[in-house]
Chain A
Amino acid sequence: MLQKVWRWFDERLQIAKPIRDVAEHQVPTRSASWWYVFGSAALTVFVLQIFTGVLLALVYVPSAAEAWNSLQHLNHDVTLGWFLRAVHGWGSNFMIAVVLIHMCQVALFGAYKFPRELTWILGVFLLLLALGMAFTGQVMRFDQDAYWGLGIGASIVGRVPLAGKPLLWLLLGGPIIGGATLSRFFALHVFVIPGLLIAFVSLHLLLVLKLGINEWPMPGRVVRRATYVREYHELIREDGIPFVPDAVWKDMFFSAAIVVTVMACAALFGPFGPRGYPDPTIIQTIPRPDFFFQWLYAMLALLPPGIETPLLLVGPVIAIGFLILLPFLSGEGEKSWKRRPIAVVTLLLVAIAFATLTRLAAYSPWSPVMDGWSGDPVPVRYLEGRSPLERQGSLVFQVKQCRNCHSIGGSGGRRGPALDRVATRMTHDQLVRQALQGGGNMPAYGKNLNPAEVTALVSFLETLHPTNQVPARDAAASAREGDAR
Chain B
Amino acid sequence: MSTDGLSRRDLFAKIGLALNVLAAGVLATPVLGYLLSPILRGDRGQYKRWLTLGGLDEFPEGQTRLATFRNPLAGVSDGDTDHIPCWVRRIQGEEFQVFAINCAHLGCPVRWFSQSGLFMCPCHGGVYYEDGSRASGPPPRGLFRYAHRVEEGRLLIDAGQLPTLSTTAKRDDGDSGRCSADL
Chain A residues with a Cβ under 8 A of chain B: 63-68, 147-148, 151-152, 154-161, 164-166, 168-170, 172-183, 277-281, 283-287, 297, 300-301, 303, 305, 308-309, 366-368, 370, 373, 399-402, 404, 415, 438, 441-445, 447-448
Contact = CB atoms under 8 A, between A and B. Distances in A.
A154 to B, nearest CB: 6
A131 B75 CA distance: 29
Contacts, number: 212
Contacts of A168: 162, 164, 166-167
A182 B75 CA distance: 12
Interface string B78-116: 111111110000000000000001100111111101011
B120 interface: yes
A176 B111 contact: no
Interface in B20-42: 35-36, 38-39
Contact of A399 (B83, B110, B115): B115
A168 B111 CA distance: 25
23 contacts: A63-B77, A65-B77, A65-B78, A67-B79, A151-B162, A164-B167, A168-B167, A172-B38, A174-B38, A174-B73, A176-B161, A178-B75, A278-B79, A283-B66, A283-B85, A287-B122, A373-B113, A399-B115, A415-B125, A438-B136, A447-B117, A447-B129, A448-B117
The 3 residue pairs across chains A and B that have the minimum distance between CB atoms: A158-B164, A164-B166, A179-B77
Given A367-B122, A368-B127, A438-B136, A160 B77 contact: no
A164 B73 contact: no
Nearest to A440: B136
Contacts of B117: 447-448
B107 A154 contact: yes
Contact of A158 (B71, B73, B108, B166): B166
A66 B79 contact: yes
A366 to B, nearest CB: 4
B135 interface: yes
Contacts of B125: 301, 366-368, 415
B71, B84, B106, B130: which has the most chain A beta carbons within 10 Å? B106
Nearest to B125: A366
Interface stretch (B7-15, B53-61, B137-145, B149-157): B137-145
Interface of B is mostly: loop
Given A156-B106, A283-B111, A367 B124 contact: yes
Nearest to A159: B165
Contact of A278 (B68, B81, B113): B81
A218 B19 CA distance: 55
Contacts of A166: 39
A226 to B, nearest CB: 38
B51 interface: no
A63 B130 CA distance: 37
B46 to A, nearest CB: 9
A315 B83 CA distance: 35
B132 interface: no
A445 B107 contact: no
Given A148-B107, A148-B109, A278 B80 contact: yes
B163 to A, nearest CB: 8
Contacts of A155: 102, 105-107, 164-165
A182 to B, nearest CB: 8
Contacts of A180: 38, 75, 77
Contact of A178 (B78, B102, B136, B167): B78
B43 to A, nearest CB: 6
A160 B162 contact: no
A5 B109 CA distance: 65
Contact of B79 (A63, A172, A438): A63
Given A373-B115, A415-B125, 16 more contacts: A66-B79, A159-B166, A165-B167, A169-B167, A172-B162, A175-B160, A176-B161, A281-B66, A286-B122, A287-B108, A287-B122, A368-B120, A370-B122, A401-B118, A404-B113, A447-B130
A401 B140 CA distance: 23
Contact of B38 (A164, A170, A367, A401): A170
Nearest to A171: B38
B122 A164 contact: no
A205 B125 CA distance: 45
Contact of B164 (A64, A148, A157, A181): A157
A45 B75 CA distance: 36
B80 A277 contact: yes
A170 B36 contact: yes
B76 interface: yes
B123 interface: yes
Nearest to A157: B164
B18 interface: no
Contacts of A367: 121-125
B17 interface: no
Contact of A179 (B68, B81, B110, B162): B81
A164 to B, nearest CB: 3
Contacts of B110: 283
Contacts of A305: 138-140
Nearest to A65: B79
A9 B105 CA distance: 62
B120, B121, B162: which has the most chain A beta carbons within 10 Å? B162
B68 A281 contact: yes
Contacts of A286: 122-123
A151 B107 contact: yes
A370 B116 CA distance: 13
Nearest to B168: A158
A445 B116 contact: yes
A280 B79 contact: no
Contacts of B127: 368, 443
B92 to A, nearest CB: 15
A161, A173, A179, A447: which has the most chain B beta carbons within 10 Å? A179
B173 to A, nearest CB: 13
Contact of B129 (A159, A283, A308, A443): A443
B136 to A, nearest CB: 5
A160 B71 CA distance: 24
